[in-house]
Structure 1
Amino acid sequence: MDYDFDYDLLAELTETHGPPGYEGNVRDIVRRELEDEVDHVESDAMGNVVGTVEGEADHEVVVAAHMDEIGFMVRRIDEKGFVAIDALGGWDPEVLRAQRVVVQTEQGKLPGVIGSVPPHTGGSDDDEREVHDVRVDVGLPKAEVEERVDVGDLVTMDQRTEPLGGCISGKSIDNRVSVFALLELARRVDDPAATIHFVATVQEEVGLRGAQTIGVDLDPDLALALDTTVANDLSDFDEYDHVTDLGAGAAIKLKDSSVITNRKVHRRLREVAEGEGIDHQFEVLPAGGTDTGGLQRAHGSVPVGAVSIPTRYLHTPTEVAHADDIAGAIDLTAAFLASEDGTHDYTL
């Protein structure tokens, strides 16, 4: 399939491993891609990356997307040599059965599986397991596991990124697809009126932590977050319960559990979308927070908005986003930034 964007870069980002607090491999890609597109690149003690394009107006805009993916940390090796793990981010234990994983050790990557008891033996109490109860099997004797795996090593899903009809499926679509959009935006920005900070944040999945510190360090006049959102346009859901629909356009966030976006910001996003003929929809997310909330209140009050990419099967190893929605989110944000010159009043 032909895409209106760099599919290979998106696949590289999604297939790279980077759970909360250990986003270094993703950070390296972000820095590599930003170096030639911005005036300067910096990072902080938490690992946030900021690529800045200087503008002429006395007006600063942050555009942020988080780099981390949900994953696990090793907490111990049990008496039989299986690896016990602790969750980094929100997992449904049900999706973990029969999955391939990678343990990131000091000696390199160690493949493993999260097994599931076969039905031939009458099944088990798998349905009642919590993430804390899950074990990783690396296929080695206990002594060798203890030699190679340390408490604190990271575990992430092992999944390829693949085209799926008009969509793209893989692990960590949440939120590498938005990091990809951030990098595409940096390529498009040319001589902006406002100073624009392209920010790849850390530790969003464990409490919006990176965004909160960025809000203090930069003190922007306006902040936009880029993230995924729920597309539960499935047979099991009534149409009126859909948060967003795949392929219906970029989502303009109105609220989630961490934020109610500034109404002047989301109305202007709508005006830009309508003026540019960009397909869009509105997002009212009942549960789940994003960096938008962290940016809104980290340095006093900041007007915030968010552009979201509808995604099916969030927080699973097989997340699915539509190529048209990805392209639309980039187009909408680019058009919005091109018209952001400091003259728009977002005070309420």
Structure 2
Amino acid sequence: MHLLKTLCQLPAPSGEEATMTRFLLDYVRQHSPSWHQPPLVVHDEARFQDCLLLVFGQPRTAVFAHLDSIGFTVRYGRELVPIGGPECAAGYKLVGQDAQGEIACTLTVEPAADDAETEVLGYEFSRDIEPGSSLTFACDFRETETTVQSCYLDNRLGVWAALRLAETLEHGIIAFSCWEEHGGGSVPYLARFIYETYGVRQALICDITWVTEGVKAGHGCVISLRDSLIPRRAYVERIRAIARAAGIAHQVEVEGIGGSDAKDLQRSDIPWDWCFVGAPEDNVHTPDEIVAKADIASMLALYQELMRQL
């Protein structure tokens, strides 16, 4: 879990994914010579900003994993504006940096002066933080025999799974995207490039979902039948059939809310097929996200099998 811990410690809230991109470029440069099939690295800031593509062999399927996390932007008067949808509780430890130096502060949550039902987010620190600075949860990575727990397992665990998949991948594309937690926006140009350059129009969304009354920790990774979006059932059933035939532990998800990078594929004018496949976590969007190791193993095994057969 050393790689996963390193990924969770890297600050990369939506809009500031460059730190993660630089790490991935260095990681691929160092490790890809020992992979089964060293990829073509596609990184062009003018066309793809901080996104990154790894292209293997003759690809048929693209795996999308977003690099960004939730967080906070410093406003004025010690107020914070959320990035994405973090769960907020007073006392959470936040870290960051501005021109005056390193920041280690705590989150405050107070009722608004004119509306007791509205919360105002702020921070406690020894000085004022420069407006526009980004803050993220302080990383406290915890590992047991059966679980890993940390901030930003969503989606550093998806990035981890994609990098581990890359070790053995023969044919396929891994697309590392940006801004997913705050509305998306990078997938449309990645998807068009992938389709026009390689003819690929089927995708897997390598992300993390929720433990719910119907999805249990430790019961295998999740194949999502729907969230706020509905994928094409024929494609999802192909994926379920592959999982069953391979004997890989998995469970299905049926939700009416939530979304992922798939939303930009669904709304595209290109006929993309897609399916969300990922491990479930509890304590979503908090500093204490937790995932069962059995579900992590199931997620990686299923991706390896799907990318061989799809």
| TM superposition score normalised by structure 2 | 0.88
Q: Percent identity?
A: 25
Moved more, 162-171 or 101-110: 101-110
Partner of 2:39: 38
1:153 equivalent in structure 2: 133
Pair 1:26-2:20 in alignment: yes
Q: Residue 190 of structure 2 aligns with which residue? A: 214
207-216 or 321-330, larger mean C-alpha shift: 207-216
2:146 aligns with 166
Q: For residues 295 and 126 of structure 2, what CA distance do their matches in structure 1 show?
A: 41
Change (3 A) 1:199 1:254: same
Structure 1 residue 43 displacement after superposition: 4.2
Partner of 2:61 in structure 1? 61
CA distance in 2, matches of 1:158, 1:24: 19
Residue equivalent to 1:97:
90
Please give the secondary structure, in 1, of the residue aligned with 2:139.
coil
User: Which deviations, in whole Å up to 9, do the C-alpha atoms of 1:1-53 show, x marking residues without a partner?
Assistant: xxxxxx10001111211100001222222222333241223244431111111
In structure 1, stretches of 5+ residues that fail to align are 1-6, 118-123, 233-241, 341-348
Compute the displacement of 1:299 (Å).
4.1
Count of aligned positions: 296
2:125 corresponds to 1:138: yes
8 Å CA contact 2:41, 2:52 repeated in 1? no
Residues 296-325 of structure 1, C-alpha deviation per residue, up to 9 Å, x if partnerless? 333422111121210101111110111111
Q: Distance in 1 between the 2:116 and 2:189 partners?
A: 38
Residues 105-148 of structure 1: CA deviation (Å, up to 9, x unaligned): 2454311112479xxxxxx88995745x21112213xxxx3xxx
Identify the residue that residue 267 of structure 2 maps to in structure 1: 297
Residues 138/75 of structure 1: CA separation in 2 closer, same or farther (3 Å cut): same
Over residues 261-282 of structure 1, what are the superposed CA-to-partner deviations in whole Å (9 max), with x where a residue is unaligned? 2222211211111121100000
CA-CA distance at 1:197 after TM superposition: 1.5
Partner of 2:282: 312
In 2: Cα distance, 1:288 partner to 1:38 partner = 32
SS of the equivalent of 2:207 reads strand
The 8 Å contact of residues 227 and 254 in structure 2, kept in 1 or not, is answered as: yes
Q: Which has the larger radius of gyration?
A: 1
Give the letter for the 2:125 counterpart: V
Could you tell me how far 1:85 is from its partner in structure 2? 1.2
The one-letter code of the counterpart of 2:183 is G
Distance 2:86 2:231 in 1: 26
State the match for 2:303 in structure 1: 333
In structure 2, the partner of 1:200 is 176
Q: Give the Cα separation in 2 of the matches to 1:282 and 1:43.
A: 37
Superposition TM-score, scaled by structure 1 size: 0.79
Structure 2 unaligned spans of 5+: 33-37
1:277 and 2:264 matched: no
Backbone CA RMSD of aligned residues: 2.2
Partner residue in 2 for 1:249? 220
